Amino acid sequence: MKTPRADWQAVAAAQRRGFSLFELSVVLVVIAILGTVFLQRVLFYQEEAERAAVAQVLAQLRITVQSRATEAHIRGKTRDLSLLAGANPMSWLLRPPGNYDGEREAPQLDELEAGRWYFDRAEKTLLYLPAKYEFFSNEKRRPLKFRLMASNGDASETGGKPENKGISLEQVMDK
């Protein structure tokens, strides 16, 4: 018959034994799987955050453009709206977004930084170069392009003279 002291020593020896190689490898595999899932989710949420930020800037710009068009209609200067087409809508914001890098003259793609807004004075387009290209497009290193465009009414409605009905910020697709 064993003494109570011997049972206590056996339990203490079993506790000091530590992990076996198999137990350690199982723990490492579980940690690796959890890490992979975590990194995939982080990348997904980074892409979602960028998409939401672009959508927010575009919504802010469209509201500003709509305000300009409404102001022109109220003042009876709808013909002046066509002069706004091709303008830089970022210049109308009280505070442009923090990732707006200003106006450039025909910028080359390799000199643009990803995740930034630019205005191309040569093409009169607003450019956004996504940091996560896969989410916005299947193609690599192509900026999203937007341009202010005037919309003209039907000439038959205005007695033969085409009248400017408004202005909008539209995405421009490369050919």
Phi-psi region of 165 (alpha: psi -120 to 50; beta: other; left: phi over 0): alpha
pLDDT digits (tens, 9 = 90+) for 71-102: 888 888 777 777 788 889 999 988 999 999 88
Q: Give the number of other CB atoms < 10 A from CB of residue 69.
A: 20
- The per-residue DSSP string of 120-162 comes to ETTTTEEEEE-S-HHHH-SSSS--EEEEEEEEE--TTTTTTS-
DSSP state of 120: E
Report which secondary-structure segment, H or E, holds 116.
Answer: strand 116-120
Taking 60 as the threshold, does the pLDDT of residue 7 lie above it? yes
**What is the rounded distance in angstroms from the CA atom of residue 110 to the CA atom of residue 94?**
30
What's the mean pLDDT when you consider all of the chain? 82
Q: Mapping DSSP to helix (H, G, I), strand (E, B) and coil, where does residue 61 land?
A: helix
pLDDT digits (tens, 9 = 90+) for 138-155: 566 688 899 998 876 554
Task: Give the chain's length.
Answer: 175
The rounded Cα 8 to chain-centroid distance in angstroms is 63
Q: Where are the alpha helices (DSSP H) in the chain?
A: 4-16, 21-74, 81-84, 133-136
Taking 70 as the threshold, does the pLDDT of residue 34 lie above it? yes
